[in-house]
Amino acid sequence: MCTAEITNKPVPLKLRVLHVVRIVLAKVVKFFLSLYYGVEGEKIPPIHDDILKEPAIEVAKKIRNKEITSVEVLEACIRRIKDVNSALNFFVQDRYELALKEAQDADDLVRSGTKTSAQLEEEKPLLGVPFTTKDCIAVKGLQHTAGVVLRKDVVADKDSDAVRLLRQKGAIIIGLTNVPELCMWWESHNHIHGRTNNPYNTTRIVGGSSGGEGVSQAVAASSFGIGSDIGGSIRMPAYFNGIFGHKPSRNIVSNEGQFPIPDSELLNSFLSIGPMTRHAVDLKPIMKIISGENAKKLNLDEPVDIKKLKFFYQYSSKAPLVDPVDPEIKAALKKVTEFLEEQHKLTAEEKQIPLLRKSMPIWLSNMKSTKRFGQYIMKNDSISAICLEIVKNIFGLSPNTLIGLITSLIDHGGIKVGDAKYNHYRKLRDDLENIFTTMLGENGVFLYPTHPTTAPYHNEPLVRPFNFTYTSIINCLGLPSTTVPLGLSSEGLPIGIQVVANYNQDRICFAVAEELDRAFGGWVEPQKS
């Protein structure tokens, strides 16, 4: 059966009914959650240190030029973390003492005069600049739990490759941010560190799995951050927290030092470490560092002429069991296409790619592993043991989250690696990849929602479980994608889109992100009156 025949078949009646029932259930649950949580949530303090609002590259420049010291910047970050973490619970482990020593060493190097500002920029472009990362990317001497209680005493004995490369270029790691259990859900909550709250409204989620890192950047707790993304784990938190987040092209940034590491080359190609920032101009220089030797494949210094790009867009996947895209998100995407036409005389082409309706089963099938989810989070992941833990969870007695247990239970059934259905969806993935690579070519850009709604209430993802497929399908294809903030919704929550380019054309994503940052204002300080 050809792809066209598959995608043009009508959605089965049973699935259409289930879709309507789920939508109605989600609306009912949202109503009751709104009554339970209230409207606004807890207020957080404003940003008092202006240096925290500046791009990381500007912070680095001021440190090199002795306009400010690394110690001063780091102390501002520490103050900010202490100001807001009690309300948001995003920062889970610090290395303040070691970081302050490294900041002092950076300042001593600048003051010594042994290297000029230009030499420092060349050799250590992020000298003295503080950053944070998530608790699944190894930092020597810090916990490496990935939110799994069984790993609560695990301490990393060396830095992950990405952290090592950043530190070699002078950046200073402050500490770790929160994640979901095993980094496999899109609300950041686990039974080691608890739940993380959205700085724009603390009754809302922050996304996952780089949820704590999304908050860290939104509230200016560090100059930049790095996250990881296998199904939207950079881009969804970036979207929910109103910042920029980039998922690189496949196999460009080393995954060494992450937990868990995928057990196949295919799954490893879905997973990427990438930058999370308040300012689009920081994406490229950070990406250049964490790519290591692979940076040369990206030609990041090659100029991008916006006027020579071809733009395509799609408002919705129209996938069953996924929420419709909110009108405000569609309106934001439309404003981008209108801006391109007015400012650059470019007419974006609207697409309707039928195979995107299959995003959910394609990703779920291609993500199947020879190792079950429960084997990572439980000593015994038999069906009976999982059911017992679910009962214990209801009474608050389980070390595992409810979604982790449900995922473990589901993982016992369904598609198996290598069976007919698995191969069928592998083929559909390949077909969709061909559609995108042909469309994008060397200068194409695809504009697409990052998520169909604004940040939901806590626990609401349980009745909207498949909304992450807007990002996850891009992981399946291995394409680079940047989430770009486009202001706030009528409820004061961030909205935006993702910008997708072809393989190793990450610089196009960055150029478009910078252009939209200038045009639409980018990051907005949370709860600023």
Catalytic residue positions? 134, 209, 233
3-state secondary structure of 258: strand
Cis bond before residue 209 (omega within 30° of 0): yes
Q: How many CB atoms lie within 10 A of CB 347?
A: 11
* HEC per residue, 16-75: HHHHHHHHHHHHHHHHHHHHHHCCCCCCCCCCCCHHHHCCHHHHHHHHHCCCCCHHHHHH
Tokens read off for 396: 């608050």
Structure tokens given for 210:
């780089």
Beta bridge partners of 498: 448, 483
CB neighbours (10 Å) of residue 391?
11
For every residue of 321-375, DSSP letters joined together read TSPPPPHHHHHHHHHHHHHHHHHH---PEE---GGGGGHHHHHHHHT--SS-THH
Q: Which residue's entry shows tokens 């935006």?
A: 496
Q: Are 219 and 44 in contact (CB under 8 A)?
A: yes
Residue 131 CA to residue 222 CA, distance in Å, equals 5
Q: List the one residue out of 459, 379, 376 whose CA is nearest residue 411.
A: 376
**Residues composing the chain:** 529
Q: How far is CA 474 from CA 79, 437, 466, 471, in A?
A: 37, 12, 14, 6
b/e burial code for range 395-413 (CB count within 10 A of at least 16 → b): eeebbbbbbbbbbbbebee
Q: Name the strands in the sheet holding 130-134, side by side, starting at the edge strand that comes first in the sequence.
A: 91-94, 172-177, 130-134, 224-229, 272-277, 244-247, 481-488, 494-500, 444-449, 310-313, 349-350
Q: For tokens 């910008």, what's the residue?
A: 499
Contacts of 233 (CB under 8 A, 6+ apart): 183, 186, 207, 208, 209, 210, 227
Single-letter residue type at 183? C
Which H/E stretch holds residue 484? Answer: strand 481-488
Q: Taking CA 511 as the corner, what is the angle to CA 508 and CA 516, rounded to the nearest 5 degrees?
A: 125
